[in-house]
Amino acid sequence: MEPSPRTATSNPPVAASATAANLTERDLVRRSASTVPPPARQLEPVAKLIDVSKCIGCKACQSACVEWNDTKPALETNTGIYENPHDLTPDMFTLMRFSEWENPQTGNLEWLIRKDGCMHCEDPGCLKACPAPGAIVQYSNGIVDFIHENCIGCGYCIKGCPFNIPRISKVDHTAYKCTLCSDRVAVGQGPACAKACPTHAITFGTKEDMKKLADSRIEDLKSRGFENAGLYDPPGVGGTHVMYVLHHNDKPAIYSGLPEDPKVSPVVNAWKGMAKYVGFAAMGLAAAAGMLHSAFAGPNRVTREDEEKAEDLVKEKI
Amino acid sequence: MATTSIEKEDAIHPGKPVVVDRYNLGARINHWITAVSLILLALSGLAFFHPSLFFLTGLFGGGQSARVLHPWIGVVLFFSFAGLFIRFWRANLPEQSDREWLAHANDAIAGNEEKLPEAGRYNPIQKFNFWCMSLLIIALILTGLAIWDQYFYEWTTIPQKRVAVLVHSLAAVLLICIWIVHVYAVIWARGTLRAMTRGSVTGGWAWRHHRRWLKELAERRRFKKPATPAE
């Protein structure tokens, strides 16, 4: 067995010779609209930790993301806000969202900056909703990735996602989002955004290490008066592989609408669960009723007598 | 006395056997465009409905093209069905005698039509199917627009799209069930299909299944010259 990908550090030295990708089809734990054999090995779960309290809003992460993924976000117009572009797009997988919040306890104006992007849910709603076999996959290290050659561009992932993340490209009509730099992780590197972050607000490593790091950060924040500081790793989606340290973890919504208790919508669950069984049962019953009726009642034929009756009626009236 | 159940194309050709015009060429073309689009929609839609049927996208040139085509075929179906609706809605209005007919629905299903009140151009089960199809197609086009992200993404919110996609799938299932009933009834009641191919039925078929319609036609002297016998 090959060793697990090296994932515990964001900025390991790059090997002099090319490293073979070590994140393959055999590492899939979920594949949309299909099943996968149980993986032969379990990779160490990874996570990106975004410490909102350390972020200075420089957007180096966005630049690094654009650079690494070679995307070309369209130039937009300044409308007086800091977000640039104004939303996630098929060419911008991560976005700094800025909000100004007046703390009622201290009277301070707090500038809350959150790096938005795919959370890499343990229970991914996008994957659940996807109808195209293999268009969305989840690796055993927790990364949820879109496989563009299998994507049909239907937008079901958008309906499944509790965080409003996927965007459909108008160019190739497939869905795009943060890959957690799965191609970098596969060769032992951390995500481009983490590598670029000048304040280490973004760190990457095993999920366990990231939780420990978060604990020390939360302790520090609490000692400095942020009594509600905490880790955002929402259990409603089974936890996420992108986590936030929030100074106000009791109010995630103040961070540009971060959901309080995200979970896959019950409507999506009904559509992907009950509707399928009920649907097949109903169509099957209708077809079976037809066959049974045909077997027991036989065809309903027009008789010679019917024809004569009609001829008599017509003769009488003509 | 219902006077609404006769369409202007309906006419009796006296002879042996009697032949009754039921659907003119326009109605038949209109019907078959609707039928073909409904079948294509069911095939492509079922492919998105369940992974085990995703292979059906192969009929449309793959997943991407099935995704592109499905809503456009839906638009064709909507307008085509609207044409049928305009043609047939009057003859499908419920009437007093339908109540009694439905009280004898067992006899209808058993094929004992002599025990039933005489039906007009459509019997109550046909009317039920007609109105179900109409309502379901309206539901499908509205929810379909809500999930046609390529052009109408901005029109609805994501929570609305979730409801739309659920309603769309359930409405489609119901429509397929209604369609199964419709197709089965045509096969069961022999001599029905020719109404939508040649446009006419025999006098005996009309006498057996839609006697009041036939009587009304005769009453109003809606006769055409007998079909010229083959040379």
Q: With beta carbons under 8 A apart, name residues in chain A contacting B154.
A: none
Total tally of structural domains belonging to chain B: 1
Best CA proximity match to A314, nearest among B118, B14, B74, B6:
B14
Which residues on B lie below 8 Å from A131 (Cβ)?
47-49, 51, 54
Distance CA A137, CA A32 (A): 6
Tell me which chain B residue has its CA closest to the CA of residue A148: B64
> Where do we find the tokens 């098929």?
A90
Residue A20: the pLDDT is: 80
> Looking at the predicted structure, is the pLDDT value of residue B231 above 70?
no
A169 interaction partners in chain B (CB closer than 8 Å): none
Mean pLDDT, to the nearest integer, of A213-236? 97
Strand partners, A101: A110
Q: Does pLDDT of A11 surpass 70?
A: no
Minimal CA–CA distance to B216: which of B17, B14, B6?
B6
Average pLDDT, chain B: 93
Look at the domain A25-263 and name its fold.
Answer: Alpha-Beta Plaits (3.30.70)
Number of C-beta neighbours around residue A246 at 10 A: 26
Burial class (CB in 10 A: 0-12, 13-18, 19+), B72: exposed
Question: Is the confidence at residue A17, as pLDDT, over 80?
Answer: no
Task: Read off the pLDDT of residues B61-85 as tens digits, 9 standing for 90 and up.
Answer: 999 999 999 999 999 999 999 999 9
Give chain B positions within 8 Å (CB) of A316.
Answer: 218
Q: Residue A318: its pLDDT value, please? A: 80
Is A33 in CB contact (< 8 Å) with chain B? yes
Choosing from B168, B182, B209, B210, the catalytic residue is B182
User: What is this model's ipTM?
Assistant: 0.92
Does residue A248 contact residue B18 with C-beta atoms inside 8 Å?
A: no
Q: For residue A1, what pLDDT is reported? A: 38
A230-232, strands of its sheet edge to edge: A202-206, A46-51, A242-246, A230-232
Buried b / exposed e along A103-122 (16+ C-beta atoms within 10 A)? eeeeeeeeebbbbbbbbbbb
Asked whether residue B2 is domain-assigned, the answer is no
A276 CB near a chain B CB, below 8 Å? Answer: yes
Beta-strand runs (E) in chain A: 28-31, 46-51, 95-102, 109-116, 136-139, 144-146, 167-168, 175-176, 202-206, 230-232, 242-246
The kind and range of the H/E element at A313 are: helix A304-317
Q: How far apart are CA A132 and CA A119, in angstroms?
A: 21
Instruction: Decide: A251 and A257 in contact? Cβ < 8 Å.
Output: no
Strands A242-246 and A46-51 turn out to be parallel
Query: What SS3 class is residue A190?
Result: coil
- Residue A53: predicted pLDDT: 96
Residue B66: give its domain's CATH number. Answer: 1.20.950.20
Distance, in Å, from the CA atom of A3 to the CA atom of A187, rounded to the nearest integer, reads 12
Check pLDDT > 80 for residue B3: no
- Statement: the pTM of the whole predicted model exceeds 0.95: no
How far CA A189 is from CA of A19, A46, A212, B168, in Å, comes to 10, 12, 20, 44
User: Scanning every residue of chain B, which has its alpha carbon at the shortest distance from the alpha carbon of A135?
Assistant: B63
The residues, ordered by sequence, that sit 6+ positions from A312 with a Cβ below 8 Å of its Cβ are none
Q: Report the alpha-carbon distance of residue A92 to residue A226 in Å, rounded.
A: 32
User: What are A81's two structure tokens?
Assistant: 């806000």
E strand or H helix at B120: none
Do A180 and A48 touch, CB atoms closer than 8 A? yes
Q: Does B144 touch chain A (CB under 8 A)?
A: no
pLDDT given at position A10: 54
Are A314 and B14 contacting, i.e. CB atoms less than 8 angstroms apart?
A: yes
Contacts of B42 (CB under 8 A, 6+ apart): B172, B176, B179
What pLDDT sits at residue B7? 85
What is the nearest CA distance from B173 to chain A, expressed in angstroms? 6
The CA dihedral of B30, B33, B34, B36, to the nearest 10 degrees, is 150
Cis peptide before A85 (omega within 30 of 0): yes
Which of B173, B181, B203 lies nearest to residue A307, judging by beta carbons?
A: B203
Residues near A88 by beta carbon (within 8 Å), at least 6 away in sequence: A94, A95, A116, A117, A165, A167, A177
**Percent of chain A residues topping a pLDDT of 70:** 96
pLDDT of residue A214: 97
Range of the domain at B207: 11-219
**A281 CB within 8 Å of a chain B CB:** no
Answer yes or no: are the C-beta atoms of A145 and A27 closer than 8 Å: no
Q: Is B155 on the interface with A (CB under 8 A)?
A: no
Q: Is B226 on the interface with A (CB under 8 A)?
A: no
- Interface with A, mutate which of B208, B209, B211, B214 (most A CBs under 10 A): B208
State pLDDT tens for residues A259-290: 999 999 999 999 999 999 999 999 999 999 99
> What pLDDT is stored for residue A299 in this prediction?
93
3-state secondary structure of B200: strand
Q: Is the pLDDT of residue A5 over 60?
A: no
Residue A176 in this model has a pLDDT that exceeds 50: yes
* Partners of residue A301 in chain B, C-beta under 8 Å: 190-191
Contacts of B180 in chain A (CB under 8 A): 283, 286-287, 290
Residues 182-201 in A contacting B (C-alpha not used; CB under 8 Å): none
Chain A interface includes B54 (CB < 8 A): yes
Look at residue B108 in the predicted model and tell me its pLDDT: 87
| Average pLDDT value over all residues in chain A | 93
B126 lies in some domain: yes
Say yes or no to pLDDT of A71 above 50: yes
Query: A197 and A204 in contact (C-beta within 8 Å)?
Result: no
Q: Is A307's Cβ below 8 Å from some Cβ in B?
A: yes
- What pLDDT shows up at residue A277? 95
Determine the length of chain B. Answer: 231
Closest CA to A139 of A31, A32, A234: A31
Closest C-alpha among A237, A293, A230 to residue A262: A237
Question: What percent of chain B has a predicted confidence (pLDDT) above 90?
Answer: 84
What's the rounded mean pLDDT across residues B125-138? 97
Rounded Cα gap, residues B142 and B139, in angstroms: 5
Instruction: Name residue B158's amino acid.
Output: I
Q: Tell me, what's the pLDDT at B166? A: 98
* Poorest-pLDDT segment among A295-299, B127-131, B164-168: A295-299
pLDDT at B6 over 90: no
User: Over the stretch A25-70, which tens digit does the pLDDT of each residue have?
Assistant: 899 999 999 999 999 899 999 999 999 999 999 999 999 999 999 9
For B116-131, what is each residue's pLDDT tens digit? 999 999 999 999 999 9
Q: Name the nearest CA neighbour of A125 among A91, A176, A166.
A: A166
Is residue B210 flagged as an active site residue?
A: no
Closest chain B residue to A266, measured at CA: B162
Largest CA distance in chain A: 104
* pLDDT score of A317: 85
For the four alpha carbons of A59, A61, A64 and A70, in that order, the dihedral sign comes to negative
Domain with CATH 3.30.70.20 in chain A: 25-263
Q: Which residues pair with A175 in a beta bridge?
A: A168
Q: How confident is the model at residue A86 (pLDDT cuts 50, 70, 90)?
A: very high
